[in-house]
Amino acid sequence: MTWSTGRSPPAASAARVAGDGWAGLRYAFALTDRLWRVTGTVDIDTDGRVRRLELTSRSSDKANGLAGTVHGVLEFRDFGVHARVTAPPAERVCRMPTPEEIKRERERIRKAGEARRG
């Protein structure tokens, strides 16, 4: 499934939805490949702005240690309000490891376990 900027998904898949001071449509989506499935909904107001995104990501990638489920909800509001934003200090930022890094770490742990067993 691909949505390009300025193009809405088919109206048949939409349901009416409203929030605090806004109204719009909710669209359901599902994206899949060999190891991942992402499902969810996105609420878009009458001005075309995303107001809410809820998704669940499921992976069966056991070989790279990435099997599991992640669920998240993002809500967007206060459009047009000026906000002062600063980046957090480096010690408060984490980076997700790449699949290759996870694979190397699992291999390192496996080898260390073998070495302890003799």
Q: Are 30 and 38 in contact (CB under 8 A)?
A: yes
| Domain residue limits, the chain | 11-79+89-117
* Better-predicted residue by pLDDT, 98 or 9: 98
pLDDT tens-digit series, residues 59-68: 887 777 778 8
The model's pLDDT over 15-60, given as tens digits with 9 standing for 90+, comes to 999 999 999 999 999 998 888 899 999 999 999 999 999 999 998 8
Question: Model confidence over 85-107: pLDDT tens digits?
Answer: 999 999 999 888 888 888 888 88
Query: Contact 38/56 with Cβ under 8 angstroms?
Result: yes
Which of 53, 3, 61 shows the shortest CA–CA distance to 36?
Answer: 61
Per-residue exposure over 50-71, b if at least 16 CB sit within 10 Å of its own CB, e if not: ebbbbbeeebeeeebeeeeeee
